[in-house]
Homo-oligomer: A and B are copies of this chain.
Amino acid sequence: MNKELKLSALCMGMILATPAFAVDEPISPIEPAKEINLAQAELGKKLYFDPRLSKSGFISCNSCHNLSMGGTDNLKTSIGDKWQRGPINAPTVLNSSLNLAQFCDGRAADLKEQAGGPIANPGEMGFTHQLAVDLLQSIPGYVKEFKLVFGEDNITIDEVTQAIAEFEKTLVTPNSDFDQWLLGDKEALSADALAGYKLFKESGCVACHNGPAVGGNSFQKMGVVEPYQAKSPAEGLSAVTGKDADRFMFKVPTLRNVEMTYPYFHDGEAETLTEAVDVMGRLQLGKKFSDAENAQIVAFLKSLTGDQPSFQLPILPPSVDNTPQPTPFD
């Protein structure tokens, strides 16, 4: 083998064998969305923004998972049909395709299963799957698009949730400062953020907040060292498994874009990152971070804000004469 060929083979080997980012880090970069069915995602985007999927005609997926605001509503707990106060802080939809399960208690296996939940939840969108499908079926613009995308004349809730889930798969946020650092740009992080990352690893935060989403991949007890006095009645995984041992086991939230997803915890009681870091340190790790340490960890957390999803606001196909009317005040 001549020298050029050897070098070439060596380079190919390096490309194949070596990821572009630091393999010894517990966090890996967010990857851009792949293998997206674009037609489904475009339809799903419309559905995601369509308040006609609620009883009132006023609440859409985007109302509580607002893509202008980090995929959340930035409220302690969400506002549902007739201004009902929800029991839980709305988790971000950003990067939610990376979660091991959906909802903070993991009661939906995936995004498709999740998408049907709020539509039919009396405290959220207050509708039913049947009414949602009937409504869509009355709108010629939707009938045509569902036919194009799924090849069927009759719209099903399965297609509705599939399309919404496909759109949600596009909502990843690559290219944060931290990911640029992981990918080799050593100037991408400030000294404070880098010190914060070191603390984040050494103090044990990373035991739960790891992987590409910096969380989202395990259930953990909230209140390991000291119990958490929650303002929410939610008890986490035990609501799904029925096991007492699973009480207060919650899906570890992603920390991606955490600067935008305030307030924090499943009851939304921590208003600032400073407070969230302090509580987590004490309750989960038995550790009191100094103000300087806390600020460094917060600087690291802010480096996790990635490119926000960028797309045209969808224009919804209009209702027609026989489309069922919304009933916000009944």
Residues of chain A having any CB pair with chain B under 8 Å:
46, 49-52, 56-58, 63, 66-70, 73-75, 79, 82-83, 85, 259-260, 262-263, 271-274, 308, 310-316, 318-319, 321, 325-326, 328-329
Q: Given B46, B67, B75, B312, which contacts A311 in the complex, CB threshold below 8 Å?
A: B312
Say whether A68 contacts B271, CB under 8 Å.
no
Instruction: List 13 other contacts, CB 8 Å, given A56-B79, A310-B313, A313-B313.
Output: A52-B74, A57-B73, A58-B73, A58-B79, A68-B315, A69-B318, A74-B319, A75-B328, A79-B328, A85-B328, A271-B321, A271-B325, A311-B312
Q: Which 8 pairs of residues, A with B, have the shortest CB-CB distance?
A: A83-B83, A272-B321, A308-B315, A260-B318, A68-B316, A313-B313, A58-B79, A49-B68
Say whether A58 contacts B70, CB under 8 Å.
no
Say whether B316 contacts A69, CB under 8 Å.
yes
Q: Given B57, B68, B274, B329, which contacts A313 in the complex, CB threshold below 8 Å?
A: B68
Can you list 15 residue pairs at the A/B interface with Cβ under 8 Å?
A: A51-B66, A52-B74, A56-B79, A58-B79, A68-B313, A69-B316, A74-B319, A74-B326, A75-B326, A82-B83, A83-B328, A262-B318, A271-B321, A310-B313, A312-B312
Complex: chain B residue closest to A69, CB-CB? B316
Task: Tell me the complex Cα distance, A313–B312, Å.
Answer: 6
Q: A73-B58, A75-B58, A274-B321 are in contact. Are A85 and B329 (CB under 8 A)?
A: yes
Complex: chain B residue closest to A320, CB-CB? B272
Task: Tell me the complex Cα distance, A270–B46, Å.
Answer: 26
Task: Tell me the complex Cα distance, A326–B316, Å.
Answer: 29
Q: Which residues of B contact A82 (CB under 8 A)?
A: 83
Task: Tell me the complex Cα distance, A75–B58, Å.
Answer: 8
Complex: chain B residue closest to A83, CB-CB? B83
Q: A311-B313, A312-B310, A312-B311 are in contact. Are A57 and B75 (CB under 8 A)?
A: yes
Complex: chain B residue closest to A257, CB-CB? B318
Q: Which residues of B contact A46 (CB under 8 A)?
A: 68
Complex: chain B residue closest to A305, CB-CB? B318
Complex: chain B residue closest to A263, CB-CB? B325
Q: How far is the CB of A63 from chain B (nearest CB, A)?
A: 7
Say whether A68 contacts B314, CB under 8 Å.
yes
Say whether B75 contacts A319, CB under 8 Å.
no
Q: Given B273, B274, B319, which contacts A262 in the complex, CB threshold below 8 Å?
A: B319
Q: Which residues of B contact A50 (CB under 8 A)?
A: 68
Interface centre among A51, A63, A308, A311 (most CB of B within 10 A): A51
Task: Tell me the complex Cα distance, A62–B62, Å.
Answer: 12
Q: A49-B68, A85-B329, A316-B68 are in contact. Are A63 and B74 (CB under 8 A)?
A: no
Task: Tell me the complex Cα distance, A58–B52, Å.
Answer: 18
Q: How far is the CB of A148 from chain B (nearest CB, A)?
A: 20
Q: How far is the CB of A90 from chain B (nearest CB, A)?
A: 11
Task: Tell me the complex Cα distance, A312–B69, Å.
Answer: 14
Q: Which residues of B contact A73 (CB under 8 A)?
A: 51, 57-58
Task: Tell me the complex Cα distance, A260–B320, Å.
Answer: 9
Complex: chain B residue closest to A66, CB-CB? B51
Q: How far is the CB of A274 from chain B (nearest CB, A)?
A: 7
